[in-house]
Amino acid sequence: MTIKLHCFGESGHSYKAALALQLSGLDWEPVFVDFFSGQHRGKDYRNLNVMAEAPVLVDGDIRLSQSGVIQQYITDKTGKFGGKSEDKYEVLRWVLWDNHKLSSQVGMTRFLMNFLPEDKRPQEVIDFMQGRLKAAFATLENQLKGRDWLVGDAMSNADLTCCGYLFYDEPFGFDRKDYPNIDAWLTRISAMPGWKHPYDLMPGNPSDRA
Ligand SMILES: N[C@@H](CCC(=O)N[C@@H](CS)C(=O)NCC(=O)O)C(=O)O
C-alpha cells in the first residue's frame, strides 16, 4: 500500500519526512496541505492531527506526526538511516536538537521574512531570531568539521533532520558560503540517489500565491 504524506512544499519539517521517504525507496505519495489557506487549523485536519501541524504520515492504520517520529518509523520499516546501534542515542540527540534549535527557529524566521506581508514583518523579532540561528549554524558547522556526516560514517536521521530547511533559497540569514562544512555536507546529501529539492518533492510553492 502506498504511504501518504500530508505535506506542502514550503514546509521544511515536511521535507525532513519526505526526503527520508524518498531516499528510503519506500512507495509513497504526497497529499497537499493548503497551509496558507489555513487548512491545518480546520476540523478535518485536526481529526487527522490534533497538533494541527504538517507533516502527517498515513500508512494503512498507522498515522504519525512529528518529522522525527516519522523518520524513526521509516528506519524501523527499512533498517535505513538509524545509524549503528551504538549511535542510536547520538542520532536522537541531533534530532531533538534540530527540532528545538535549528529547524523550528529557521522555519519561524523564514516565515516572518518571506511569507508574512511586508508591512507585518517584525524586524526586532527577526534580528533576535537571526542571532539565535547564528549560534545554531555554528554548532552544526563545528560538528561537521573533519566529518562527512553528523553521526558515524553514514547518512542518518541526524543529517536528514538537520538539513531540512537549509536547501531553501528564500532568505533567513543563512548563506552556504559562510559555512564551508555545512556547504560540503549539503552537497553530499544532494548527491544521494533520488534526492530532490523540496519544491520538486512536494506540492506547493510560493509561486502558486504570486
Ligand atoms: N516538530 C514538528 C514541527 C511541525 C511544524 O511546525 N510544522 C509546521 C509547518 S512547517 C506547521 O504545521 N505549523 C502549524 C502552525 O504553527 O500553526 C515536526 O518536525 O514535524
Q: Which of 175, 96, 186, 163 is nearest to 134 (CA)?
A: 175
Section 33-42 average pLDDT: 97
Asked whether 107 lines ligand 1 (CB < 6 A), one says yes
In whole angstroms, give the CA distance from residue 65 to residue 6. Answer: 9
Half-sphere exposure of 126 (CA within 13 A, CB side): 16
Asked whether 67 lines ligand 1 (CB < 6 A), one says yes
In whole angstroms, give the CA distance from residue 172 to residue 4. Answer: 30
| Cβ-based neighbours of 116, under 8 Å, separated by 6 or more | none
pLDDT digits over 41-92, tens only?
A: 999 999 999 999 999 999 999 999 999 999 999 999 999 999 999 999 999 9
Closest residue (by CA) to atom 13 of ligand 1? 53
C-alpha angle with apex 159: 173 to 87, nearest 5 degrees?
A: 140
- Provide the pLDDT for residue 87: 97
- Provide the pLDDT for residue 210: 83
Section 142-163 average pLDDT: 98
- Provide the pLDDT for residue 103: 98
Q: In DSSP terms, which residues pair with 127 in a beta bridge? A: none
For the beta carbon of residue 180, count every other beta carbon within 10 angstroms.
12
Instruction: Parse the chain into domains and list their residue ranges.
Output: 3-81+195-209, 85-190
pTM of the model: 0.97
In whole angstroms, give the CA distance from residue 69 to residue 51. Answer: 14
- Provide the pLDDT for residue 102: 98
Q: Between 3.40.50.150, 3.40.50.10490, 3.40.50.720, 3.40.30.10, what CATH number should domain 3-81+195-209 receive?
A: 3.40.30.10
In whole angstroms, give the CA distance from residue 144 to residue 176. Answer: 14
Reported as type and span, the H/E element at residue 98 is none
Atom of ligand 1 nearest to the CA of 12: 10
Backbone angles phi, psi at 24, to 5 degrees: -75, -20
Cell of 19: 526526503
Res. 13: pLDDT tops 90:
yes
Assign a CATH topology to domain 85-190. Glutathione S-transferase Yfyf (Class Pi); Chain A, domain 2 (1.20.1050)
Q: In DSSP terms, which residues pair with 59 in a beta bridge? A: 62
- Provide the pLDDT for residue 28: 98
How far, in Å, from the CA of 15 to the mean position of ligand 1?
11
- Provide the pLDDT for residue 129: 97
